Structure 1
Amino acid sequence: MGVAGTGKTTVGRLLAEALALPYAEGDAFHPAANVAKMSAGTPLDDADRWPWLDAVGDWLRDRAGLGGGVVAASSLKRSYRDRLRAAAPGAVFVHLTGERPLIERRMAARRGHFMPPALLDSQFATLEPLQEDEAGLVVDVSGSPEEITERALAALRRLPAAGN
C-alpha cells in the first residue's frame, strides 16, 4: 500500500518472488472508467473505489487457502483496508512510504503510467497511515528496489503472524 510512485508494483513483484507467492497488479482491477478518470487528472472518490476494492479483495480471498498472494494496491484509507480485510482476514499491509520530493521524482520519471504526478496531492490528502491495531508494517522507500524489498522481508519476518 501507499501513494502513487512509492514502488508498489516493483517491490510487490520482488516480494512475491521472494515469498514464492502469486502477484497481482492492483491497477489491473480498475474498471476502464476509473482509469479514464485518473488519466484525465481527476481523483477517484470512494464510490469509484468500492468495486475496485471488492475485485482486489476477491483475488486475495481466492488465494487465502493457497498460501496467499501479493497485490500492489494503494489502500490509502483505513476503510479501504478494512474492506480488503473483510474479504481476506489474514491480510498484512506493507505501507511503502517516503519523502514527497523522492516520490515526485519517481513519478515524473515513469513512462506509460496513467496516473499523472498532478494527482499526488490528492493521494497524500487521502492517505491514512496504518494504525496500531492493523496487521502491517511501514517500509521507507529510499534506496534501490532490492534494498526496499529486503527491509520489507526483514520486517515481515518479525511479525508474530508470520509464523517465525
Structure 2
Amino acid sequence: MAIKTALRLDYRLSHRGRLAAEMGANLCGCVRSEGAHVEEDRGMNQNPDVDRLMRTLEHPQKEAIEYLRTAILNVDPQITEQVKWNAPSFCYGGVDRVTFQLKSKDVQLIFHRGAKVKDDETPFAFNDDSGLMEWRTNDRAMVTFKDVADVTAHEEAFGSLVSRWMKT
C-alpha cells in the first residue's frame, strides 16, 4: 500500500512539475517537516527527449501513459528511457526492454528483449504470473490498459512484472 501511495504522489508531483514548466511557472514540489523547501527535479533516469515528446503527445490516454512512464522509471534507478518508434521506450543495461505502442486508443506496451528477436540456444521462458501479458512471439508480449483506472487497478502486478522482465 505504501508503494502505491508513493507512486501516486511521485506521479502527481512529476506531472505538476511538467505542467508548471510548460507554463513557465516555478514549482516547489514538497516541504520538509523542518520547513525547508525541496525543489522538484526531473528524476535522474528521465530523458529530456521523452519529456519533449510527452509535452506534445496527443493521445486519448495521455494521463495513463504518464502514469505508466513514472511507474516504470520508479521500478529501478538503472532503468533509462529514450524515444523509440516515436514513443517512450525503456532500457535496462543498455538493452531496449519495454516500449509504448501509441497507435491504439488504448495504452499498449511491448515487452521485448531488444530491437530484434533473439535466437537463443535455449528457448526463452518467462512466467507471467500477473496475467497481463499477451504473447506475440516467443520473446515479445503486449500489455494493454484501457485507461488510468485500469492501470491503477493493476499497478502492483505491473510494477512486479516490469521489475522481473527488465532483469531477464
TM-score, length of structure 1 as denominator length: 0.32
In terms of fraction of residues, the more strand-rich structure is 2
TM-score, length of structure 2 as denominator length: 0.31
Ranked by relative contact order (alpha carbons within 8 Å, sequence separation 6 or more), the top structure is 1
Work out which of the two has the higher radius of gyration on C-alpha atoms and give 1 or 2.
2
